[in-house]
Amino acid sequence: MAPAAEWMKAMRERRRARGLRELRLVLPDARSASVRQRVAAQVGRLQPSSEDGALRWIEGAVSDVDDTAPS
């Protein structure tokens, strides 16, 4: 096994011993023009009247977080 692979394996084992688990996320790349176009098209299809409840909830959740943030 290559040295880098051995180091990574040892690091994962140390983390597991501490009760941690590796998590990998695969996300759309917001730097990609095609992803930005797809998101813009989806946003363009949103109906504001059907999104009001979600927006109110988000705004309330954000304001709750902002109130407790240290200065």
In Å, how far are 4, 19, 38, 71 from 41, measured between CA atoms? 42, 42, 5, 38
Q: Which residue has the tokens 């688990």?
A: 21
Helix, strand or coil, per DSSP, at residue 4: helix
pTM recorded for the entire structure: 0.48
**Is 59 a residue whose pLDDT tops 90?**
no
- Other CB atoms within a 10 A radius of the CB of residue 50 amount to 8
**Is 66 a residue whose pLDDT tops 90?**
no
- Other CB atoms within a 10 A radius of the CB of residue 36 amount to 13
Query: Could you report the per-residue pLDDT of 4-28, keeping only the tens digit for each?
Result: 999 999 999 999 999 998 899 999 9
